[in-house]
Structure 1
Amino acid sequence: MQVNSEQIPTPAHTHADGAPETPRPGGVSAVAHSTAVSENDAAKAAALRRMKSVALALLIGMAVVFTVAFALQKQYPWLEYVRAAAEGGMVGALADWFAVTALFKYPMGLKIPHTAIIPRRKDQIGASLSDFVENNFLSEHVVQDKLASVDIARKAGEWLRSPGGPERVAKEGSAVIRGAFTVLNDDDVQAVIEGMFRKHVLTPPWGPPVGRMAERLFAEGHHHTLVDLLVDRAVDWMATNHDTVNRLVSDRSPLWVPPFLDHMVGDKVHTELSKFVRAVQEDPDHQVRRSIDTYLTELAHDLQHDPAMIARAEGIKAQILGDPEVRELASRTWGTIKNALLTAVDDPGSELSLRFKAAVRDFGTRLVEDTELAGKVNTWIGDAAGYLVNTYRSDIAGVISDTVARWDAEETSQKIELQVGKDLQYIRINGTVVGALAGLAIFTVAHLVFG
Structure 2
Amino acid sequence: MTGTGTNTPTARAARTAGAAGFAYTAEDEERRRGVRRMKAAATALLFLVAVVYALATWAEASGVTGWPGYVAAAAEAGMVGALADWFAVTALFRRPMGLPIPHTAIIPTKKDQLGESLGTFVGENFLSADVVRVRLRALDVAARLGTWMAEPAHVDRVTAELATALRGALTVLRDADVQAVVGEAITRRAEAVEIAPGIGKTLDRVVADGAHHRAVDLVCARAHDWLVTHGDSVMDAVQGGAPGWTPRFVDRKVGERVYKELLRFVTEVRDMPGHPARGAIDRFLADFAGDLQADTDTRARVERLKSELLARPEVQDVIASAWASIRAMIMSAAEDENSELRLRARASLLSLGVRLKTDTRLQGKVEGWLEDAAAYVVTTYRAEITSLITDTVASWDADQTSRKIEAHIGRDLQFIRINGTVVGALAGLVIHTVSHSLGG
**TM-score, normalised with respect to structure 2:** 0.76
Structure 1 residue corresponding to 2:185, chosen from 183, 196, 202: 196
Structure 2 residue corresponding to 1:326, chosen from 307, 316, 327: 316
* Alpha-carbon distance in 2 for matches of 1:172, 1:138: 31
2:108 maps to 1:119: yes
Aligned 8 A contact 2:150 2:350 in 1: yes
Q: How many Å apart are 1:99 and its aligned residue?
A: 0.9
Q: How many Å apart are 1:399 and its aligned residue?
A: 1.1
Task: Kindly report which structure 2 residues correspond to 1:219-368, keeping only aligned pairs within 5 A, or say none.
Answer: 221=205, 223-227=207-211, 229-230=213-214, 233=217, 277-278=273-274, 292-302=285-295, 306-315=299-308, 317-318=309-310, 322-330=312-320, 332-368=321-357
Partner of 1:181 in structure 2?
Answer: 170
- The structure-2 alpha-carbon separation of the partners of 1:213 and 1:304, relative to structure 1 and needing over 3 Å to count, comes to farther
| Matched residue type, 2:57 | F
Partner of 1:13 in structure 2?
Answer: none
* Alpha-carbon distance in 2 for matches of 1:363, 1:151: 16
Partner of 1:30 in structure 2?
Answer: none
Structure 2 residue corresponding to 1:209, chosen from 194, 198, 201: 194
Partner of 2:420 in structure 1?
Answer: 431
Could you say what secondary structure the match of 2:425 adopts? helix
Aligned 8 A contact 2:136 2:371 in 1: yes
Q: How many Å apart are 1:60 and its aligned residue?
A: 2.2
Aligned 8 A contact 1:161 1:362 in 2: yes
Q: Per-residue displacement from partner, 1:407-448 (whole Å, max 9, x unpaired)?
A: 122122223223332332232222112111110111111111
* Alpha-carbon distance in 2 for matches of 1:162, 1:412: 48
Identity of aligned residues (%): 40
* Alpha-carbon distance in 2 for matches of 1:392, 1:160: 31
Partner of 2:53 in structure 1?
Answer: 66
Partner of 1:132 in structure 2?
Answer: 121
- The structure-2 alpha-carbon separation of the partners of 1:339 and 1:287, relative to structure 1 and needing over 3 Å to count, comes to closer
Partner of 1:56 in structure 2?
Answer: 43
* Alpha-carbon distance in 2 for matches of 1:160, 1:69: 75
Q: Which runs of 4+ in 1 moved over 6 A?
A: 254-257, 268-276
* Alpha-carbon distance in 2 for matches of 1:165, 1:137: 32
Partner of 1:18 in structure 2?
Answer: none
**TM-score, normalised with respect to structure 1:** 0.74
| Matched residue type, 2:291 | E
* Alpha-carbon distance in 2 for matches of 1:76, 1:144: 70
* Alpha-carbon distance in 2 for matches of 1:172, 1:271: 63
| Matched residue type, 1:327 | D
Number of paired residues? 397
* Alpha-carbon distance in 1 for matches of 2:165, 2:93: 48
| Matched residue type, 1:389 | V
Greater RCO between the two (CA within 8 Å, min separation 6)?
Answer: 2
- The structure-2 alpha-carbon separation of the partners of 1:337 and 1:255, relative to structure 1 and needing over 3 Å to count, comes to closer
5+ residue gaps, structure 1: 1-33
Structure 1 residue corresponding to 2:88, chosen from 99, 105, 120: 99
* Alpha-carbon distance in 2 for matches of 1:114, 1:128: 17
Q: How many Å apart are 1:358 and its aligned residue?
A: 2.5
* Alpha-carbon distance in 2 for matches of 1:418, 1:324: 71
Aligned 8 A contact 1:280 1:289 in 2: no
Aligned 8 A contact 1:304 1:310 in 2: no
* Alpha-carbon distance in 1 for matches of 2:299, 2:329: 44
Partner of 1:448 in structure 2?
Answer: 437
- The structure-2 alpha-carbon separation of the partners of 1:171 and 1:54, relative to structure 1 and needing over 3 Å to count, comes to farther
Partner of 2:11 in structure 1?
Answer: none
RMSD: 4.0
Could you say what secondary structure the match of 1:397 adopts? helix
Aligned 8 A contact 1:85 1:437 in 2: yes
